[in-house]
């Protein structure tokens, strides 16, 4: 079967995952996720599978299919799974959970985690560094940790604001910058430099008071939006703000959601953004104008995660 050119999915507290035609706004597939809400989703780079993180499971669904059942279930966590993502070749998956652990799962092996890192506090966010050898996590106690997968150890630990939960961490596509957002609406920005060791060193670059409420997601623009580099911040104040990532001046405020905005994702060229909100909708925004060009309606409760892959199809390996 041919791969879909654009895969857009949303999920949340109504126990369903919905797939959408991005341009028309029509929902063409609904998957029931009966066991729990869905906290986070990620699409495999080759668009074959979608990972949905719930409580406490991760389910893998085939995308180009009408099969309602997951093709695999990953059951090593003991609490809400708050982060999930894939290595660039799709060989392994990573996850983070309120059980205080970050885990690595080999997708070519039986569904058991191969590695387990203890954060000693509920993990709210995990991202993979573009070098594919380091994970960066943020937790409820305000700790940011770099997990060196080559050394199999924590190589760096930061606490930008004591006892203030880190909600989200983002890394620039070229590994040059890390942003962490917290419960007070603050974004901390570091320049990343790597020495002779694999461990990255964090050089403070900027402190941005992005919102007056929780920042629930911070996201840096993808490679193909260059030379324009942006930071998107989604907040409990119902807005998404777009910041210039060079001087951290405010470019746009995206208004239209009626409640908290939990998640957002850029299109591959950085020209559009999809957002997910407690108001039960997702929205597609044109960033040049700041206009909402499509509303995805159909969920019965809060939408807390969205996933988008509109990249070109990968050639067969």
pLDDT digits (tens, 9 = 90+) for 12-70: 999 999 999 999 999 999 999 999 999 999 999 999 999 999 999 999 999 999 999 99
| Residue 1 scores a pLDDT above 80 | no
Largest CA distance in the chain: 52
Contact (Cβ atoms closer than 8 angstroms) between residue 167 and residue 216: yes
Contact partners, residue 158, CB within 8 Å, separation at least 6: 143, 144, 145, 202
Other C-beta atoms closer than 10 Å to the C-beta of 99 total 18
To the nearest whole number, what is the mean pLDDT of the chain?
94
CA distance 265 to 275: 7
Backbone angles phi, psi at 224, to 5 degrees: -80, 5
CA distance 42 to 126: 12
| Residue 197 scores a pLDDT above 70 | no
| Residue 187 scores a pLDDT above 60 | yes
- Evaluate the omega torsion of the peptide bond into residue 222 and state whether it is cis, within 30 degrees of 0: no
Contact partners, residue 91, CB within 8 Å, separation at least 6: 106, 107, 108
Q: What is the pLDDT of residue 314?
A: 47
In degrees, rounded to 5, the angle at the alpha carbon of residue 89 between the alpha carbons of residues 40 and 178 is 55
pLDDT digits (tens, 9 = 90+) for 73-103: 999 999 999 999 999 999 999 999 999 999 9
CA distance 254 to 25: 19
In degrees, rounded to 5, the angle at the alpha carbon of residue 134 between the alpha carbons of residues 232 and 196 is 115
Residue whose tokens read 């070229």:
174
| Residue 196 scores a pLDDT above 50 | no
Q: Provide the β-strand partners of residue 73.
A: 59
Q: What is the pLDDT of residue 315?
A: 39
pLDDT band at 4 (very low <50, low <70, confident <90, very high): confident
Mapped onto helix, strand or coil, the DSSP state of residue 218 is: strand
Q: Are strands 113-118 and 101-106 parallel, antiparallel or unpaired?
A: antiparallel
């Amino acid at each position: 079967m041919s791969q879909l050119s654009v895969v857009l999915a949303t999920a949340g507290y109504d126990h369903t995952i919905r797939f959408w035609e991005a341009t028309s706004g029509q929902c063409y597939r609904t998957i029931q996720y009966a066991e729990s809400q869905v906290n986070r989703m990620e699409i495999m780079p080759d668009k074959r599978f979608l990972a949905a993180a719930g409580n406490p499971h991760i389910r893998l669904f085939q995308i180009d299919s009408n099969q309602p059942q997951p093709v695999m279930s990953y059951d090593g966590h003991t609490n809400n799974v708050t982060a999930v993502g894939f290595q660039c070749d799709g060989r392994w998956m990573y996850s983070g959970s309120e059980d205080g652990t970050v885990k690595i799962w080999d997708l070519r092996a039986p569904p058991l985690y191969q590695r387990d890192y203890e954060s000693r506090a509920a993990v709210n966010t995990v991202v993979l560094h573009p070098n594919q050898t380091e994970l960066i996590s943020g937790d409820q106690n305000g700790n940011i940790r770099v997990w060196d997968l080559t050394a199999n150890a924590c190589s760096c630990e930061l606490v930008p604001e004591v006892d203030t939960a880190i909600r989200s961490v983002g890394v620039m596509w070229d590994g040059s910058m890390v942003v962490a957002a917290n419960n007070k609406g603050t974004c901390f920005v570091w320049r990343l430099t790597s020495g002779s060791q694999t461990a990255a060193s964090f050089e403070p670059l900027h402190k941005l008071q992005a919102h007056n409420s929780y920042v629930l997601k911070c996201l840096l623009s993808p490679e193909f939006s260059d030379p324009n580099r942006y930071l998107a911040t989604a907040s409990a104040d119902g807005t998404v703000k777009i910041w210039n990532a060079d001087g951290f001046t405010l470019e746009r405020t995206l208004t239209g959601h009626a409640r908290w905005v939990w998640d957002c994702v850029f299109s591959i060229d950085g020209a559009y953004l999809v957002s997910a909100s407690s108001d039960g909708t997702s929205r597609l925004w044109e960033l040049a104008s700041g206009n909402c060009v499509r509303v995805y309606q159909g969920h019965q409760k809060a939408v807390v995660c969205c996933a988008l892959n509109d990249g070109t199809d990968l050639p067969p390996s």
